[in-house]
Amino acid sequence: MKALWKVLLLFMLLASIPDLPASWKASTDPCGTSTQWDGVTCDKGRVTSLDLSFNTGLGGPLPAAIGELSQLTTLILIGCSFTGGIQDLGNLVQLSFFHFNKNQLTGNLTGLFNSSMSLEHILFDNNQLSGPIPPELGGITTLQILRLDKNSFTGQVPTNISNLVNLTGLNLANNKLRGKLPDLTSLTKLKVVDLSNNSFDPSVAPDWFSTLKSLASVCAYPYTASWGVAQKDSGGAPQLKGARFFSFDELKNCTNNFSESHEIGSGGYGKVYKGMIADGTTVAIKRAEYGSKQGAVEFKNEIELMSRVHHRNLVSLIGFCYEQGEQMLVYEYISNGTLRENLQARGIYLDWKKRLRIALGSARGLAYLHELADPPIIHRDVKSTNILLDDSLKAKVADFGLSKLVADTEKGHVSTQGYLDPEYYMTQQLSEKSDVYSFGVVMLELLSARLPITKGRYIVREFRIAIDPNDNDYYGLQSIIDPAIHDAAKSAAFRRFVQLAMECVEESAARRPTMSSVVKEIEMMLQNEGLSSSSSSVTEFEHAGQATADPYSRVVAENGSNSSGGISEEPSHPETQH
């Protein structure tokens, strides 16, 4: 009876939402074994998780019935269009993850929280909330992430925020807060703090700026502590606390003086070397060539941005070197090389399901850059050589931000030929939808194992001409698709994958989907193939790098011989870079 009551409460919620997911219409039981509702997770017939993120058609006032789902542990409504205030949440005592960011909520948060709650994440950033920050938040000592940035909160930061000893991420930026900067000395797990663009009292930087050893980044303009004291002779570039500083000698030694035997690739930024640093970690080192170097301020700004972005499907920046006239980036080493190598030459068999998973992982990384990184990041050079595969063939997107680090705009600021958004030729501007176009080309590579341009023939045009909806066997693509996946061509997921790729490469940017929409589509394809997509499109995102089993435990927004498979730049291929 209790389970039925929870279902009835959900229907009360549905009554005020105009655009329902298809699976919600197909079944009257959100916890059904045959057709479980998208975004709903159940335990013993009870709804425990509700995730309707990035559904802009979901709007209007939040249904009061949400507050009655007492078994909820996860409530994620990121990027919808909900308006108005928030109802009483007092019954949600089981709730751990409360994500309402990127909506249009108004009013204040007074009276919503109490110390009996066991919340770990509270995300209200990018709304239109106002009033004071409620002191009741200081009583929720389980809290790990608190984001109230980009609202209109006023008054002082409650002093009892110092009770949040488990906090790893705190963002109160872009509000109207006043008074003294909060004392965060007791928050010894804190990794990322942003208090910038408020109206705090002028004062010297507080001691906790330098005494909290866990901090990777602090921004509290006019105070800035993201960059610490320089090590040795850094040529004017201080050390970034969010990424390790490497001396020139360290990187010289671990690459045998940058010998050819350690070289694993090259590209617009420079040569790439494989090395092992002192702690035994294998890394990939990108060494800027003369024409790719830029000023210290620009280099620091870009490195700071890249060091704050972490996601399981993005290649991680470990550190950098800026001394003796050198500019080098040190990345995690990815063992199985690039997607292009694996599709064409490496001999690792990628069946249809592996290709779906690679597409999903790559899409998740890009969706994170576009929609959850702060500020959002346009990759600008999405291609199959910038998608790397680790030991388990998990996809990791590489070189985001590098196009902005290349000083010569002729070489690095726009996509490689064959992947370039056709609208760029008219506007000379790149956008998130430019990345979507490039990703669509990568999807066509996954289908065909062909280069984007082969003997003057463009892969997008070849697919567009060949597609035949009346061909029930191969969709008109028998002569184009990779023989290794011919058997998959008759599946519904295959046909939908082709259709989605063609939507991504629409001539008009306005007609292309967002990367988050692409993620959800590919997740559905995996489900239709009888496979798990591991987690939902939203639960790929984590904050502050904590190793927990929460929805954000996979992501954070703060901070030669190609057979070795390291981070690879563009090998010898017919495309040219602009």
Q: What is the pLDDT of residue 215?
A: 67
CATH topology of domain 339-564: Transferase(Phosphotransferase); domain 1 (1.10.510)
The domain limits of the chain are: 2-224, 244-332, 339-564
Q: Exposed, middle or buried by CB within 10 Å (0-12, 13-18, 19+), for 354?
A: middle
Residue 143's pLDDT band (boundaries 50, 70, 90)?
Answer: very high
Rounded distance, CA 122 to CA 550, Å? 13
Q: What is the pLDDT of residue 469?
A: 92
Q: What is the SS3 assignment for 138?
A: helix
Task: Give the catalytic positions in this structure.
Answer: 381
Q: Is the pLDDT of residue 387 over 70?
A: yes
Average pLDDT over residues 343-372: 89
Q: What is the pLDDT of residue 509?
A: 92
Report the DSSP pairing between strands 74-76 and 244-245: unpaired
Residue 382's pLDDT band (boundaries 50, 70, 90)?
Answer: very high
Average pLDDT over residues 130-159: 94
Q: Is the pLDDT of residue 480 over 70?
A: yes
Average pLDDT over residues 444-451: 96
Each residue of 200-246: pLDDT tens digit?
Answer: 887 766 888 778 877 655 665 444 333 333 333 334 444 444 578 88
Give the residue ranges of the annotated binding site: 286
Task: Give the largest CA-CA distance in the chain.
Answer: 72
| Same fold flag, 244-332 and 339-564 | no
Q: What is the pTM of this model?
A: 0.54
Q: Any idea which architecture 2-224 has in CATH?
A: Alpha-Beta Horseshoe (3.80)
Both structure tokens of 35: 């057709």
Give the residue ranges of the annotated binding site for ATP: 286
Q: Are 93 and 70 in contact (CB under 8 A)?
A: yes
Each residue of 242-294: pLDDT tens digit?
Answer: 578 888 999 999 999 999 999 988 876 788 999 999 888 899 998 987 656 66
Average pLDDT over residues 58-62: 80
Q: What is the pLDDT of residue 262?
A: 93
Q: How many CA atoms lie within 13 A of 514 on its CB side?
A: 13
Q: What is the SS3 assignment for 577?
A: strand
Q: Any idea which architecture 244-332 has in CATH?
A: 2-Layer Sandwich (3.30)
Both structure tokens of 41: 């997770």
Q: Report percent pLDDT > 70 for the chain.
A: 75
